[in-house]
Chain A
């Protein structure tokens, strides 16, 4: 018999002040630009300065978000650590490659090499807490987080683990922004938080963040929600998306009427938001619709912010005005579908139910 999968705690560092768990988007951070950085917590409250000086931004953010998730779950250790990241600690990777070029492949120092691997975050967290269990990092573009989630789901359902720390992290690096502006994947002109999702221009506003969750097959007082279904589709034609979602729901014993809301990954890229708009005006027309990438920025693991947001909605019973996409109101939603895709690829569906 398959066991249930619960989200027992959350931790987040993002463009919004999500590291402070006392509120829920009470104070929204505005911006105007083509990229937007995370709001930094006071890292020295979490990390000894001697250790922090050698940490990449993604690692520092993750030290805080994983710490907060573990603390809320009341755990000192877990059975497994699974992290999703699209680009890893990219800043250190870029510096390492730049050193290679500038110094003619000589004089390479260890710190940047250590930090430049994609599994730096999962490995460092495990070392810090002395976790000798399963440790894995999924690097699958914008389904990196969902791949981690899926792995955790399978292990928990089959009772191969009881508590798993699942994370999503990506950091913002200027060189990455510059190069991706050349190919119109990142917007060339600055845009404000209020306007980004309706900007009508190519590309996205690049963000960064780290989101960690303790998933367990044991419900406890802190439990936010239950993960009841998920699906990943690497390739889908635009005209197949609606039917695929309906089949996904049917396969999992659900209908559109069972959903109290959908959280869409609309990111303001005029070329690919039409996929979301077709759904918003189609099968999701009568369902409350929520958005988040104007708050988080877009990055490979931005869906981790959406996952964090869904769980905050369940816990607080609030739907902040800033995340509403259509006019259909709902109070205290109990079941939410998260749908995300990036540039028409790697579609993911996650259904969460309030506990």
Chain B
């Protein structure tokens, strides 16, 4: 279940953010999504906030939370699981 969610997140991120040259297999679960990892930026962060709301029904009350939640696929999956629990 957990790895299914992580795979799903990778595929959604690639599609949503037009990461044309990246495959899901190339994203490690603990790779940083921002900065030196995938190199995402602040506009991508907004896209991810919308994705959480639209696809998982999770609204981020405080956008500053995003810094920790979007650290990696691991942290995103953990946050989604915790929110659904």
Contacts and interface: CB of A to CB of B under 8 A. Distances in A.
A53 B18 contact: yes
Contact of A110 (B18, B21, B43): B43
A49 interface: yes
B60 interface: no
Nearest to B45: A110
A110 B46 CA distance: 7
A10 to B, nearest CB: 30
A110 B51 CA distance: 12
Given A106-B54, A107-B54, A53 B43 contact: no
B5 interface: no
B28 interface: no
B39 A54 contact: no
B19 A109 contact: no
Contact of A49 (B21, B46, B54): B21
Contacts, number: 26
Contacts of A109: 16, 46-47, 50
Contacts of A53: 17-20
A108 B50 contact: yes
Contacts of B16: 109
A216 to B, nearest CB: 35
B31 interface: no
Interface in A70-102: none
A247 B43 CA distance: 54
Given A50-B39, A53-B19, A111 B47 contact: yes
A251 interface: no
Contacts of A110: 43, 46-47
A111 B50 CA distance: 12
B19 A54 contact: no
Contacts of A49: 20-21
Interface in B24-70: 39, 41, 43, 46-47, 50, 53-54
B26 to A, nearest CB: 14
A50 B53 CA distance: 25
A49 B17 CA distance: 12
A103 interface: yes
Interface of B: 16-21, 39, 41, 43, 46-47, 50, 53-54
Interface of A: 49-50, 53-54, 103, 106-111, 114
5 contacts: A50-B39, A53-B17, A53-B19, A107-B50, A110-B46
